[in-house]
Amino acid sequence: SMKDYAQEFYRLGYTDVVDQFYAQLNSKKDTFYALIHHSFVSQERKDAFLKLVNRRIEELQTVAGKEG
């Protein structure tokens, strides 16, 4: 999961990288949502993509900004 990768990067000392990635991803989530909503895929796939983006952001949020 995204959380596992983020925790491993933290363990390796790349806390700033994880925190910056989370901040950028979180600040651009409205752009992701708009791109998904305006895509040509079915509504079912749009819903799946939205769920995936939200889950990844939430997973990163549990790790980002926390030492250790």
10 close to 65: Cβ distance less than 8 angstroms: no
pLDDT digits over 28-55, tens only? 999 999 999 999 999 999 999 999 999 9
CA distance 28 to 43: 21
Going by C-alpha positions, the residue among 9, 11, 4 that lies closest to residue 20 is 9
Which pLDDT score, from 0 to 100, does residue 67 have? 58
Over 80: is that where the pLDDT of 26 sits?
A: yes
CA separation, residue 27 to residues 21, 30, 43 (Å):
10, 8, 24
First to last CA, the chain: 18
Give residue 2's pLDDT band: very low, low, confident or very high (50, 70, 90). confident
Which pLDDT score, from 0 to 100, does residue 50 have? 95
